[in-house]
Amino acid sequence: MSALAVDQVHRYSVAQYERLVELGAFAGVRVELLDGLVLDMSPKTPAHENVLEWLREWLDARLDRSRLRLRVCAPLRLPDGEPEPDLAVCDRGQPRDRHPSSALLVIEVALSSVDRDLTIKPDRYAAAAAEYWVVNLAERHVVIHRAPAAGRYRSLTVLHPGDEVCAAQVGVHEPVSVADLLAAA
């Protein structure tokens, strides 16, 4: 590849990206928009899908569906991107003619995407999500980001098997065992 080809990077606004999606520009390709760049998404492994299904069922059974909706692998519309978290719990009152612009809880299940999920996405989600979890399947722990302020999460906790976590931000006070969550993989 020539040096010229490497320099040919285009940034898109969220509106431009959404128009390209509507036109079918990315049909059959899993991508997301981060910082104006269209990035390939990691392939889904059976372990990823098993944990995602387990978490979806756990949350779905406990959420107040009259005020919250659980979105699975669906975009969040941020000022400079449109990431597609594995799970997002959003207020039901948000306009339905576009993707939600905020969430109470965002969860990413990470294996090959762990670097992006732990280094790039926290600051993006801090502008829109009250709480952000990364289920790190490679390291077998869960990273909980809380207390967003000025575009960053001020609290970071790493939980291991033997620990428990609850999703109090979305009204789920029943704790989940990290060991049970990871065992779903």
The domain spanning residue 95 has which CATH number? 3.90.1570.10
- Is it the case that residue 106 has pLDDT exceeding 60? yes
Is 108 inside a domain boundary? yes
Q: Would you say residue 161 lies in a domain?
A: yes
N- to C-terminal Cα distance for the chain?
A: 39
Residue 169 lies in a domain: yes
- Burial of residue 169 (CB within 10 Å: 0-12, 13-18, 19+) is middle
Tens digit of each residue's pLDDT (9 = 90 or more) over 23-75: 888 888 888 888 888 888 888 899 999 999 999 999 999 999 999 999 999 99
The verdict on residue 156 lying in a domain is yes
In angstroms, rounded to a whole number, what is the distance separating the alpha carbons of residues 151 and 79? 12
pTM of the full structure: 0.89
